Amino acid sequence: MLLPMMTAVDELVGAAEIGRMFGVGRARVYQLTSRADFPAPAHEFAMGKVWRTAEVRAWAEARGRTVLDDSTEEDR
């Protein structure tokens, strides 16, 4: 059985990445991701939920929140 070809891949982030994006700790990430207006998770794995990066960034920008550049040379 052939799998359908993927034409686009969503960049996903977990709670740790969201924390780095906003410069906050785990408790604050939980508060933010529990809000009714926060984007719904793209998927929930045994290790936790993941969100689409673009949706999280759009949510933050719409609310005037600063999004830190969480990329480092170590991540690449």
Residue linked to tokens 């969100």: 51
Query: How do residues 48-73 score in pLDDT, each as one tens digit?
Result: 999 999 999 999 999 999 999 754 43
Measured CA to CA, the distance from residue 45 to residue 2 in angstroms comes to 24
Q: Say how many C-beta atoms besides its own lie within 10 A of residue 63's C-beta.
A: 8
User: Any idea where the domains of the chain sit in the sequence?
Assistant: 12-69
Query: How do residues 15-33 score in pLDDT, each as one tens digit?
Result: 999 999 999 999 999 999 9
Q: Is residue 24 within 8 Å of residue 62, measured between CB atoms?
A: no
